[in-house]
Amino acid sequence: MRQLIAANWKMNKAGKEAIQFIDEFKKLIKNIKYAEIVICPSFTALNEIKKSIINSKIKLGAQNMHFENSGAFTGEASPLMLKDVGCEYVILGHSERREFFTEDDELINKKVIAALNNGLCPILCVGENLEQRKNNKTKEVVEQQLRICLKNIDKKQMTKINIAYEPVWAISRGDPNHKAATPEDAEEGHKLIRNFLEKMFDSATAKNTRVIYGGSMKPENAKELLSMPNIDGGLVGNASLDAKSFAEIVKSAKLN
């Protein structure tokens, strides 16, 4: 499978800055073969970016979504709206949504189902925080997140889902010097996820689901992380804000 390298810009880059990035980035990735590239900008930049990525290798994703198609939900964006603006992907259950906007696994499950029903590919985020890791709860926490977030999903639908393992303690929160998980620690998390997918579905589903890593991935560590057997791509925050550094990461991708 092709590795998925997705940029999560979080709450950064308004229209003009976003377009400048795309213009520079497109030139840098002309010869890319192996990566599937997705950019997830803010809602307000989606439309402009959609126009600027026509005939390029870049696909569009959103960072969040409501589970209803329309209604009285002030401030929300629906799956239909994301499709309408050209999104193919949507990040769901990011730890910042869980922590700052009180999203829980049940809500995220509704969003996963709504995304699939509307032809969007979810990038479902799971991962333990530092305290949970210190208390040896990683397996329990991640399995519980998967169990609930993927409730009522069948094997066929799983072919559209990407899982992002984002250990919360490795997320940079904007600090370029923050430490990523070691490739070995990341690999262990990915294996845990794959083993659980095998239990929950079957071995083909476990093998074919892309499990990507997020948490301080940058040009300096991307190659090593992406060369681990169970790491099928990256979800990149801070280092995706700079066209050159994101292009370097994209160049580190390979066929898995």
Active-site annotation holder among 66, 94, 96, 187: 94
CA–CA separation, 50 and 229 (whole Å):
33
Minimum distance of ligand 13P from residue 203's CB (angstroms): 28
What is the phi-psi region of residue 194: left when phi exceeds 0, alpha when psi lies from -120 to 50, beta otherwise?
Answer: alpha
- Residue 126 binds ligand 13P (CB under 6 A): no
Binders of ligand 13P among residues 94 to 123 (CB under 6 A) are: 94
Position among 3, 4, 5, 8 found at the interface with ligand 13P (CB under 6 A)? 8
| Helix or strand run (H / E) with residue 183 | helix 183-200
The neighbouring-strand residues paired with 163 are: 124, 211
Asked if 193 and 126 count as a contact pair (C-beta separation under 8 A), the reply is yes
CA–CA separation, 247 and 24 (whole Å):
10
- Residue 216 binds ligand 13P (CB under 6 A): yes
- Residue 249 binds ligand 13P (CB under 6 A): no
66 is catalytic: no
- Give whole-number Cα distances, 149 to 58, 78, 142, 164, in Å: 27, 18, 10, 13
Segment lying near ligand 13P (by CB under 6 A), choices 23-31, 81-89, 152-160, 214-222: 214-222
- Residue 61 binds ligand 13P (CB under 6 A): no
Hey, what are 22's tokens? 């795309």
Minimum distance of ligand 13P from residue 250's CB (angstroms): 14
Hey, what are 123's tokens? 């990038």
- Residue 171 binds ligand 13P (CB under 6 A): yes
166 is catalytic: yes
Q: Kindly list the residues in this chain that would bind ligand 13P in the complex (CB under 6 A).
A: 8, 94, 166, 171-172, 214-217, 235-239
Residues taking part in catalysis: 94, 166
